[in-house]
Structure 1
Amino acid sequence: MTLARQFFTALTLTLTAFTLQPICAEDSVFVEAESFAQPGGWKLDTQSIMTMGSPYMIAHGLGKPVEDATTTVEFPSTGTYHVFARTKDWVARWDAPGAPGKFQIAVNGKTLDHTFGTKNAEWFWEAGGTIEIDDTKATVALQDLTGFDGRCDAIYFSKSGAEPPNKSTVLGPWRRKQLGLGDTPTEKTGYDIVVIGGGYSGMGTAISAARMGCKVALVQNRGVLGGNGSSEIRVWAMGHVRRGNYPRVGEIVTEFSDNATKSPGTYEEFEDAKKEAIVRAEPNIDLFLNHHAYDVETKDNQIESVMAFDTRTGDQIRFAGTLFADCTGHATIGYLAGADSEMTPEGRMGMSNMWAWDEADSPTEFPETPWALQLSMDDFPYPRDHHGQWFWESGFDKDPIKHAEAIRDWNLRAVYGAFNAMKNGDGADKHKNAYLTWVAYIGGPRESRRLLGDIVLTQDDVVNKVAYPDGCVPSTWSIDLHYPKQQYAEKFPDNPFISVAVHDRRIDRNYGYPVPYRTFYSRNISNLFMAGRCISVTHEALGTVRVMRTCGMMGEVVGKAASVCVRHDCTPRDVYGKYWSEMDELLKLPGKARRDTVNAEIVVPDDALPLAPPTGLPTSGKGSGKSIDPAKISGLVIDDTQAKKTGSWSEGAGLPKFVGSHYLYGSGKNASIRFEFAAPAHGKHQIMIAYQSHENRSDKVSVEVKTGDDVITKSVNMKVAPPVDDLFISLGTFDLKRGEDCAVTLSADGSGNVHADAIRVVPAK
């Protein structure tokens, strides 16, 4: 075991067992909260296992008490039992008043007098008095009192009254004894590649490797796939796909990418079920949801196996394989294995917890939150369009692993403090009917440890377009680094909660910068791949490669490279050094190409996507945008590339549909765009404009239509989806004369962005 792994293990507590009848010592019963048969409204939180050692249940009710969690417990005998719960007062680390995470415990319908969650800033066993057990089988319930994130790891009933040990040991002797766990884990062997992490990078890796004939284990410590792009965190997927040196790369990402049109979007838009169904449809993938990887066995600078446990039952599994892929975002597997790694000491990006609210038909109430950050409306940007966006971010320069729970909890204090200002403070008059609809309790981290490969990609490499021979993943996002926004940092300088994005836009956003393959494997652990936020880049270069579609494409490349490794019994380094010509051919295959084994014939199914246009335009996927060739649209089409622009306009390609290579958007009062054309024929014609709706678009875009000497002005609400093919809206029917000068001009008024894509002229029916 490496020193790094020993240190990591020392930080970790055990996870314990799921059972309706927990195994008991002679005079005690130990019950993990996550094992409750009916969780009620309590949610499973796994993001702090590395520091407090166990998943736990959290009562995330947005200020309304959640439904009880219940289970049946078998006691060894009747009598008087002392009751302990492992919990904490989650705001005590800041000496905040009020202890919002209050809950009680009931046995057979009798609620203990003690209120838990009111003491101690750290996890500990809180004594709750005694209970009389008259029947050896009893119902136990967790009763939330506030809806403000009370938390419980486990409950211990003891006749002796001795406090349980609070050791930070993974499946240590005491917990093993209480749970009746054996010393031998379940063995899962025969895998060509074991992928740890089920976000975009892990999904891309697993699906790509499976389709190229590898036997794959995909291990994810949450109950859903998608990572930051799941319904739990709701960051819409950005980064363009299907372009650059290998325009086939990105086709797999296109299959499972989310359907969100904003961030945060709705539960439905992130399509958790679709993601899981696509993975489960692959016969070469064994999917292990709710399994947390916590230990690694190595020999001679190779990983031999990864240990994981079921976050609901505590059962251990040892995953053995030929290759391993770290897609955890935190470089967890590489770190445990002793892989060379780094974490930027200062200026790191933080973690976001986004939120959303809506308005009822009548006034609503929200509890006072004296324990939250005490905010007025001037202390935070107004959450327009009913949601708090990506910039609700904190934890800058806090350790994103050791302090994950504290960063998330600070974010919650900021969100609840802001909504309290809206409901009970100086925003109360305006927000009488407002109510919270969703707050992320799983944090969305942006930066953590990074593993070092044979190349460490830098900002200069990207900006100067250094051409590596193995450049293969197009990175099209700007170098986007987040820092505290100073105007909101003065009140809380130690931990600001609003960020600003600082962009270096010297990126080829159309073709993309080809990230080299040699950043996707460890330079000193010979069978370790990595994909996602933990690849071999500097802090600055991370700013461009970190978005989810780009991370997913890294996984597609790693999966194909894994098949080369298995086919030739070689290392990831050898793929570049000896077999790059073969890898080159695999990267040119459609994403749906497949073979049963690494030595079988490759088959391209009939439903494979067509090759993307040479410009590398995305051709499907809601969030990545669907480019439509103007030549395939009936009538006369004038694209924005042919229009005359005044003022500031930005290019975009992230919304569901657009004409040509991109669309434009602008918001300044001097921003206007004019589409000029000659009338194509005599007679009545409809004149249309193309746009896509978005919450930041203006609801009163001024549109001037000039036909010959006639001029009319229309107003278009671009918050509402266009009615014709979800792309166009008609400005009316006009009597044209062949060859006369015509024009359509769109102008901004400062109330929101104007979307300018194309105009279309078609004969009226």
Structure 2
Amino acid sequence: MTEASTLCEPNMPFRLSCSLLAVLILGALAPAAEVFVEAESFADHGGWKLDTQFVQQMGSPYLIAHGLGKPVDDASVTVTIPENGQYRVWVRTIDWVARWNAKPSPGKFKLIVNGKPLDVTFGTEGADWSWHDGGILSLEAGEAEIRLHDETGFDGRCDSVYLTTALDAKPPADPEMLLPWRRQQLGLSDKLPIRGAYDLVVVGGGYAGMGSAISAARMGCRVAFVQDRPVLGGNGSSEVRVWAMGNIRRGKYPRIGEMIEEFADKATKSPGTYEEFGDELKEQIVRAEPNIDLMLNHHAMSVRMDGSKIASITAIDTRTGSDVEITGDFFVDCTGHGWVGHWASADLDMTDAGRMGMSNMWAWDEAESSTTFPDTPWALDLKMEDFPYPRDHHGQWFWESGFDKDAIGGAEAIRDWNLRAVFGAFNAMKNRDGADQHKTAELTWVAYIGGPRESRRLLGDVVLTEEDIVTKRDFPDGCVPSTWSIDLHYPKKEYADKFPDNPFISVAVHDRRVDRSYGYPVPYRCFYSRNVDNLFMAGRNISVTHQALGTTRVMKTCGMMGEVVGKAASICTLNQCSPRDVYEEHLDELLELLELPGKARRSTPSADIIIPDDAMQKAGPNGPPPGYNPATMEGVVVDDSDAKLTGAWTEGSGLKGFVGYGYRYASPNSDATATFTIRPKQSGKVELRFYTHPHENRSSKTPVTVRQGDVARSYTIDQRAALDAGWIVVEQLSVNEGQDVVVELSTDSADGFVHVDAVSLVEVK
């Protein structure tokens, strides 16, 4: 955080007095020789991970030794010692289980200077982040190597290292004093470098941020895209591994979601594998947009206001500590926690208690031989009966806690409680009553980046409610289809009884009155602030109630919000108007843009729109067909959904490879019929194809009648036999343009289920 942020923070006189006091202290220490290095700026992180989740709470990222019980490789950096002398060593760190009085400290590590470990073991003091005295070293002027040496693999943490010849001095502990002290140590100027101005500044790189940035860029806006992690995707990245849910490309505007289709993960379970989440693909798609200035590893810290508008945000480079001011005309808060809106004093809400929590999922596998796992007396004291058995070798979404905890200020503690639960569970599997069953079990992945569900919600001109959704209230600006049930999470009773202070297992309670095919159209007015004139929002911090958040919060739905926001931002840029003006004066223009293919683009907001050849086929109101799309298949295709059916037919979709949305089947001799009418587009010789799925319970002698005018021909087809192409050629015939060919299937005399999917006429070449 920089001094510029005080312009929009409370208690400014106090903050300035703290800054002045820090400067006076620094002046008193000025004669001392000193070396200061942020752990995140170590040249080689080794096996330590960069954790940026809690910068707002502690002012800096840090390195964490997340080794799953195996010590990680050293992190190292070479520093310059300014002069010969005696140096006191300080390390800013924490005993991360001390807040629960748990022992012994799991995150132990050593500091090695020029190959010699200090006598002190770090990570063993303090329930809060503080400076741990490492003793006095005799150092010579010149280069020195500093290494962080992990001893446990259990999440030891280092924020920074400070060496000083002022042996009685101690770095400031108070965050208000620590921030300006850090800036002075890093040699950062109070005059920040400026990037911009941009048409739109997108803060947050999850699905909502990606949708916003790509959409705005393709509509001609100059976009700054700010993300605090090295990868994109947020909860849908390989770091968190929540598979993307929410149906896309459907409802009033089925083009919405085509951009999300380009990069959405293909995970088959949650958590999935690293490869399934496609971090590289996400970044590749964003970097392919010339209008996007992607700023990975940049953490937004504050805003500067100009009246009721945001003028800029300040972001720090999480690798170096340097900061930058990013200016723009419009901003979109995709942070999930509503940070930008909070700094800008936007109207907001947060449910007091009973919020959904944070998950840290995990996975394990089987080794070829027996494995060991360290005892974890500092973790939650669990037996096998104390937690749900991790099915399919993974701990799923319901490993969730923090329901009534501080979702903002206490986020690190919530994450750490989740880690204690995971490590306690695996300890029970390996070293307690699960030991005989799990001799070869090996912990392979635990998310140290949390997956939060609920915190601040920024308020717009419409605050969407549960009643709006279940009664299908029709807003004129309804656009983003929300298809997930109203899915709210609560502590599961048996675990709430065992761990009343902070249950770590949840249960989902679903209100299934949401239309999962067409979806409920969420109004555009939920996507901009009602009192900050140039602030959009997309993602789980939009303008909804706690209950309505249960359906809007899933990632593909959040991504579609971003698509709408990006297009609205282009209208604001073109017309120099506010987000509210888009609804009040330019709604028709926005709705027209929502009809465009996702790959449509223009170079500037005033340029002509170009639709490329690889634009997606427009889906229908119930979404793209899960099977083969009749619109893109060869020939003239009629799906079973367009057939005339009599009798009792059952819909199915279990056998993959079908056409459209599914297929139908009927019992033998049930008097059921299916009639397909096909109108040829041109005269000539064609092949009549019947699409079916071979199965042992199908009829081997299904009667088929083909009619052209007064001429009728009868055939019998075998629906049990294996098919190479996915269809049966019934016959070749000559057709005339506009003269219908009628195909009728019957269950009469069938010796198994009659299955109908689609028929087609394909030109014989």
TM-score interval (norm. to shorter): 0.7 to 0.9
CA deviation vs aligned residue, 1:636-676 (integer Å, no higher than 9, x gap): 9989x999899xx9x999x9987543699xxxxxxxx9876
How far apart, in 1, do the equivalents of 2:131 and 2:580 lie? 49
Q: Are 2:302 and 2:315, in contact at CA under 8 Å, matched by a contact in 1? A: yes
Which residue is 1:105 aligned to? 111
CA deviation vs aligned residue, 1:555-599 (integer Å, no higher than 9, x gap): 000000001001111000000100111111111111111110111
1:76 CA drift (Å): 0.6
1:91 aligns to 2:100 (yes or no): no
Indicate the SS of the match to 2:500. Answer: coil
CA deviation vs aligned residue, 1:226-284 (integer Å, no higher than 9, x gap): 00000000000010111111111101111111121111001111010110011111010
Which residue is 1:547 aligned to? 554
CA 629–743 in structure 1, closer or farther in 2 if over 3 Å, else same: farther
1:463 aligns to 2:442 (yes or no): no
Partner AA of 1:182 in structure 2: S
CA 629–435 in structure 1, closer or farther in 2 if over 3 Å, else same: farther
1:185 aligns to 2:192 (yes or no): yes
Indicate the SS of the match to 1:84. Answer: strand
Which residue is 1:741 aligned to? 750
Which residue is 1:524 aligned to? 531
Aligned-pair identity in percent equals: 60
Which residue is 2:224 aligned to? 217
1:119 CA drift (Å): 1.1
Gaps of 5+ in 2: 20-29, 675-689, 703-721, 728-745, 761-765
Q: Are 1:617 and 1:627, in contact at CA under 8 Å, matched by a contact in 2? A: no
- Relative to the length of structure 2, the TM-score reads 0.83
1:514 aligns to 2:521 (yes or no): yes
Indicate the SS of the match to 1:74. Answer: strand
CA deviation vs aligned residue, 1:416-462 (integer Å, no higher than 9, x gap): 01111111111111100000110000000000100000000000000
1:130 CA drift (Å): 2.2
Q: Are 1:305 and 1:319, in contact at CA under 8 Å, matched by a contact in 2? A: yes
How far apart, in 2, do the equivalents of 1:652 and 1:294 lie? 49
1:173 CA drift (Å): 2.9
1:354 CA drift (Å): 0.4
1:80 CA drift (Å): 2.3
How far apart, in 1, do the equivalents of 2:455 and 2:591 lie? 31
Indicate the SS of the match to 1:51. Answer: helix
1:167 CA drift (Å): 2.5
CA deviation vs aligned residue, 1:337-368 (integer Å, no higher than 9, x gap): 00000001121000000000000111000000
- Relative to the length of structure 1, the TM-score reads 0.83
CA deviation vs aligned residue, 1:263-315 (integer Å, no higher than 9, x gap): 10011110101100111110100000010111111122111111111011111
CA 676–235 in structure 1, closer or farther in 2 if over 3 Å, else same: farther
Which residue is 1:131 aligned to? 137
Partner AA of 1:502 in structure 2: V
1:54 aligns to 2:54 (yes or no): no
Indicate the SS of the match to 2:175. Answer: coil
Gaps of 5+ in 1: 15-23, 620-624, 665-672, 691-702, 710-721, 729-736, 746-756
Q: How many residues align?
A: 686
How far apart, in 2, do the equivalents of 1:761 and 1:287 lie? 48
1:398 pairs, out of 397, 405, 419, with: 405
Aligned pairs for 1:132-531 (under 5 A) are 132-161=138-167, 162-169=169-176, 172-531=179-538
CA deviation vs aligned residue, 1:509-565 (integer Å, no higher than 9, x gap): 100100000000000001000000010000000000000000000000000000100
How far apart, in 1, do the equivalents of 2:39 and 2:663 lie? 50
CA 687–585 in structure 1, closer or farther in 2 if over 3 Å, else same: closer
2:77 pairs, out of 53, 71, 80, with: 71
Which residue is 1:584 aligned to? 591
Provide runs of 4+ in structure 1 moved above 2 Å. 1-14, 169-173, 625-639, 641-646, 655-664, 673-680, 685-690, 703-709, 722-725, 737-745, 757-762
CA deviation vs aligned residue, 1:30-66 (integer Å, no higher than 9, x gap): 1110000000000000111111111000000000000
1:739 CA drift (Å): 6.0
How far apart, in 1, do the equivalents of 2:471 and 2:534 lie? 31
CA 577–113 in structure 1, closer or farther in 2 if over 3 Å, else same: same
How far apart, in 1, do the equivalents of 2:194 and 2:344 lie? 19
1:661 aligns to 2:668 (yes or no): no
State the structure with more CA Rg: 2
Q: Are 2:627 and 2:661, in contact at CA under 8 Å, matched by a contact in 1? A: no
1:129 CA drift (Å): 1.6
Indicate the SS of the match to 2:155. Answer: strand
Q: Are 1:35 and 1:313, in contact at CA under 8 Å, matched by a contact in 2? A: yes
1:5 aligns to 2:12 (yes or no): no
Partner AA of 1:661 in structure 2: Y
Which residue is 2:541 aligned to? 534
Q: Are 1:689 and 1:759, in contact at CA under 8 Å, matched by a contact in 2? A: no
How far apart, in 2, do the equivalents of 1:484 and 1:675 lie? 46
Indicate the SS of the match to 1:172. Answer: helix
Instruction: Decide which moves more: 164-173 or 458-467.
Output: 164-173
CA 524–111 in structure 1, closer or farther in 2 if over 3 Å, else same: same
1:134 CA drift (Å): 3.4
Indicate the SS of the match to 1:514. Answer: strand
1:476 CA drift (Å): 0.4
How far apart, in 2, do the equivalents of 1:548 and 1:460 lie? 22
Which residue is 1:670 aligned to? none
Q: Are 2:44 and 2:75, in contact at CA under 8 Å, matched by a contact in 1? A: yes
CA 632–609 in structure 1, closer or farther in 2 if over 3 Å, else same: closer
Partner AA of 2:53 in structure 1: Q
CA 637–471 in structure 1, closer or farther in 2 if over 3 Å, else same: closer
CA deviation vs aligned residue, 1:659-696 (integer Å, no higher than 9, x gap): 543699xxxxxxxx98769999xxxx998479xxxxxx
1:31 pairs, out of 24, 37, 46, with: 37
CA deviation vs aligned residue, 1:724-757 (integer Å, no higher than 9, x gap): 99x99xxxxxxxx996424469xxxxxxxxxxx9
How far apart, in 1, do the equivalents of 2:10 and 2:309 lie? 17
CA deviation vs aligned residue, 1:617-638 (integer Å, no higher than 9, x gap): 235xxxxx66655995999998
How far apart, in 2, do the equivalents of 1:11 and 1:740 lie? 88
CA deviation vs aligned residue, 1:192-239 (integer Å, no higher than 9, x gap): 011100100011000000110100000001111000000000000010
How far apart, in 2, do the equivalents of 1:92 and 1:420 lie? 20
Q: Are 1:630 and 1:637, in contact at CA under 8 Å, matched by a contact in 2? A: no
1:490 CA drift (Å): 1.6
1:4 CA drift (Å): 7.5
How far apart, in 2, do the equivalents of 1:262 and 1:400 lie? 26
How far apart, in 2, do the equivalents of 1:628 and 1:536 lie? 36
CA 243–70 in structure 1, closer or farther in 2 if over 3 Å, else same: same
1:316 CA drift (Å): 1.2
Partner AA of 2:106 in structure 1: P
How far apart, in 2, do the equivalents of 1:189 and 1:111 lie? 46
Aligned pairs for 1:613-632 (under 5 A) are 613=620, 615-618=621-624, 628-629=629-630
1:121 aligns to 2:127 (yes or no): yes
Which residue is 1:21 aligned to? none
How far apart, in 2, do the equivalents of 1:724 and 1:276 lie? 39
